[in-house]
Amino acid sequence: MKCGEVVYEVQSTVLRDNCGYAMETGKFFHNLMERKDFETWLDNISVTFLSLTDLQKNETLDHLISLSGAVQLRHLSNNLETLLKRDFLKLLPLELSFYLLKWLDPQTLLTCCLVSKQWNKVISACTEVWQTACKNLGWQIDDSVQDALHWKKVYLKAILRMKQLEDHEAFETSSLIGHSARVYALYYKDGLLCTGSDDLSAKLWDVSTGQCVYGIQTHTCAAVKFDEQKLVTGSFDNTVACWEWSSGARTQHFRGHTGAVFSVDYNDELDILVSGSADFTVKVWALSAGTCLNTLTGHTEWVTKVVLQKCKVKSLLHSPGDYILLSADKYEIKIWPIGREINCKCLKTLSVSEDRSICLQPRLHFDGKYIVCSSALGLYQWDFASYDILRVIKTPEIANLALLGFGDIFALLFDNRYLYIMDLRTESLISRWPLPEYRKSKRGSSFLAGEASWLNGLDGHNDTGLVFATSMPDHSIHLVLWKEHG
């Protein structure tokens, strides 16, 4: 072996021995610190670190990162992702998650449902959030429903229906054909529509199928009302008649008016029938006997509407459960007690102008708590307990809207061109539907609203069936129906 090679071998051996010694020494001290002093050292460092300002902490971290190798940086990266991207809906108690979710709008919540299955599960089960969203859309809330996922489904159905209303796509039309002369009288109940015509007949139609269920020969009909067994008609021949559907026989004939009978109502429990006439009077009849019990005077115009309704509020003049009679003419609404005494006095007269400069529309709404009627000035709502005007709803953009139906949430209105839905909470028109050239009637008998429960709030089930019906110049009946949910 040459001298150079010997020197190289010696140097290599020494270096190897020294490195081995150094490595062993480092390993020894590392193990020694981990075993005895590391936890104490770490605690001291932590106390010092926590005492620093935010700027000093940042500088410390920057320095430590600069001293770190690949293993430490990889470790840091993996743990930072876990620390910074915590799923708070998964970590928080459910009650606290629900509280936070209440601050988000429904559209944002629907977007959040797409984040993960866990988020969708938690958000979908937040009953209060979806119930509130449904209420804001005018939806009825049934608190007895226990299914936690139910109300999100209802909201999705609600938002679809409201979008259809906004886009004027919620309805469809149909026609009933069968009369051979003018149709003056309409009445709707439980999916059945009764029509009375100048062709001396009355027909009962199944709205869902368009089929005529009954057709009987009558007098000329100016007003109709029916139940399962009978039909009551007011006529231009100044009489009222009661007919049996099954046989078509006239079972009672009420004579006494000296003008056409424009409106009728009855109550089997009281055995009473009331009628309003062009002779300016209202008559109260014994329904089964056909005898006149009372004639109510005081109107100075045709009596175009009579309503017999049970009172639901208490006042100085009546109690809940009392039956009340309302009669309306061109300018006034009169409120009468129902009794058998002769010459009973009117309890109250309502009007929108003392000088009779403003006419009332012929349609009248009374549910036992509120009286609503429309005029050229807008919709008037009276509190039945106090007879005070609660509010006047005006629609400056559209004048002379006529009332069809009035509820807690919505009102159904129309004019010569359109059918309208108003949100009563904002007093704004939210939907409209075009109407054909229907037959006009100053008495309001040739058009009516269909199903009315949705006016107190939609529920996903009551937006079906008839919305509006009117008679046409060609003697047919034009129907506006709810379109089935998409």
| pLDDT band, residue 355 (cuts 50/70/90) | confident
Predicted pLDDT of residue 281 = 96
Decide if 338 is inside a domain.
Answer: no
Query: What would the pLDDT profile of 229-253 be if each residue is shown by its tens digit?
Result: 999 999 999 999 999 999 999 999 9
Q: Is residue 22 predicted with pLDDT exceeding 70?
A: no
Which of 7-16, 92-101, 291-300, 436-445 has the highest mean predicted lDDT (pLDDT)? 291-300
Give the per-residue pLDDT at 313.
92
The tally of domains found in the chain comes to: 1
Q: In Å, what is the CA distance from 101 to each residue of 96, 125, 173?
A: 9, 11, 41
CATH number at residue 149: 1.20.1280
Q: Look at residue 400 and tell me if it is in a domain.
A: no
Domain that holds residue 108: 89-167
- Does residue 137 belong to any structural domain of this protein? yes
pLDDT tens by residue, 113-156: 998 888 899 999 888 889 889 999 999 888 777 777 888 988 99
Residues 150-178 pLDDT 10s:
889 889 999 999 999 999 999 999 999 99
- Please give the pLDDT value at position 267: 94
For the entire predicted model, the pTM comes to: 0.79
Q: 93 in a domain, yes or no?
A: yes
117 within a domain of the structure (yes/no): yes
* Residue 2, pLDDT score: 44
Is residue 110 a part of any domain in this protein?
yes
- The amino acid at residue 229 is Q
Q: Is residue 119 part of a domain?
A: yes
Rounded CA-CA distance 366/369 in Å is 7
Say whether pLDDT at 342 is over 70: no
Task: For residues 308-332, give the mean pLDDT.
Answer: 91
Position with higher pLDDT, 37 vs 94: 94
Confidence (pLDDT) at 35 = 61
Confidence of residue 407 (pLDDT cuts 50, 70, 90): very high
**Percent with pLDDT over 70 in the chain:** 89
User: 195 pLDDT exceeds 80?
Assistant: yes
Quote the mean pLDDT of the chain.
Answer: 87
- Could you give the C-alpha distances from 276 to 71, 123, 136, 148, 305, in angstroms and in order? 96, 57, 41, 52, 6
Whether 378 shows a pLDDT value over 50: the answer reads yes
Question: Average pLDDT for residues 212-220, to the nearest whole number?
Answer: 94
pLDDT classification of 445: cutoffs 50, 70, 90: low
